[in-house]
Structure 1
Amino acid sequence: MEKHRIYTTSFASVYPLYVAKAERKGRTKAEVDQIICWLTGHDQAGLEAQLDQKVDFETFFSDAPRLNPSRALIKGVVCGVRVEDIEEPTMREIRYLDKLVDELAKGKAMDRILREA
């Protein structure tokens, strides 16, 4: 089976779209970064290094320092698909990130987005 093209898409090319979506709704780049770091275990320097290296999505998630175990609590629909029903691991990670950015843009409180409450 052929891989979905998002796997070979540069994370750095999509990252500004995540930030723009959040900023259009009055949220900040720092909040987007916080979500990405929470999900992947990257610190800010690690995230910036990944962006500078223009790694693809597959590499971004496979090289993540520590995927957050609480990410399994992320539920809901992204692009018409329930994230908890996605079987392919890399696609599920990508959709988790999409869902978190959606929640940020919809005004959800940060502690709820990061599954702390």
Structure 2
Amino acid sequence: MILSVDPSRALPVYEQVREQIRRMVAAGTLPSGTRLPTIRQLAADLGLAKGTIERAYELLEHDAVIERHGRNGSFVSDVTPSTEHEMTSGLDAAAESLVVIARQLGADEDAVVEAVRRVWQQL
């Protein structure tokens, strides 16, 4: 898994890691069931603190992108929303994260909507 981070970006490093993994999962580069690097390994590979990767993995787990199984590792989730409520909840959580990041970057609503459309078309 190839990731890169840019500490000079306004986006926090843990969010950069999170978003790159989310994109890989959405694009199918990381299919369901794929084992992710350990927190220690990914932190070492990227030259980051373990807590930074831990935070990214926590958020990915919260978003149901990955499943964490303690010592057995972290894996790309194969769980898909089975009800409209679960789908809506998942979309709301993702949208909330997007809006928080967009506000940190100083983006307005139109810029966010355009970015979503652009990414939707790319994937």
TM-score (norm 2): 0.33
TM-score (norm 1): 0.34
Higher relative contact order (CA 8 A, sep 6+): 1
